Amino acid sequence: MCNKIYTQQDLTDAFRAAIEDRARWFYLLLKYAKEENADVDKIAEKAIKEFGNMKGIAIGEAKTALDFANAILSGHPREAFAMEPVKLDKNESVIKFRYCALVEAWKKLGCGPDEVAKLCELASFGDYGMIECFPHLGLEFKQLLSKGDDCCEMVITKK
């Protein structure tokens, strides 16, 4: 058993590294699916949305935008994505993500701006899959790091 004490930065770095690994295999999977003439967008949308559904189910109950925001803000992802709660309200909550290891990994792979934006669009099906579990809630991204904005701005609304 290891008795090492890890700092928050150690945990954040490890979490970001794991996310970057996920971004690399996602990129490679899509690259080779495309070479095989698969409908990459359709496959990615279905698979990633289902993954998001699993994560939404794991959230449990979220009756309000605040409930969903609090669930998103819990745990290591908060630090890994440098999440900043801007507005936390039961009818509308806004969270800014100041860092994205997925975007950074795709840039390191040499993806250009358009490709990074497309990969992000596909990856965001996970977020939309999560919100699908809560039909009384809506989700929108007003800004995206993948499109050159200074953050990803997630807006959660109660319908």
| Residue 125 CB neighbours (<10 A) | 20
Torsion of CA 122, 56, 89, 80, to 10 degrees: -60
pLDDT of 51 above 90: yes
Q: Compute, in degrees rounded to 10, the torsion defined by CA atoms 8, 13, 17, 23.
A: 90
* Average pLDDT of the segment spanning 136-150: 97
Confidence (pLDDT) at 23: 96
Does the domain spanning 8-158 belong to CATH 3.30.1380.20?
A: yes
Predicted confidence band of residue 90 (pLDDT cuts 50, 70, 90): very high
Q: What is the pTM of this model?
A: 0.92
Cα-based distances in Å from 133 to 52, 105, 110? 9, 29, 35
- Return the domain boundaries, the chain: 8-158
CB 143 within 8 A of CB 63: no
pLDDT tens figures, 12-26: 999 999 999 999 999
Q: How far apart are CA 115 and CA 121, in angstroms?
A: 10
The pLDDT of residue 6: 85
> What is the rounded average pLDDT of the residues 45-67?
97
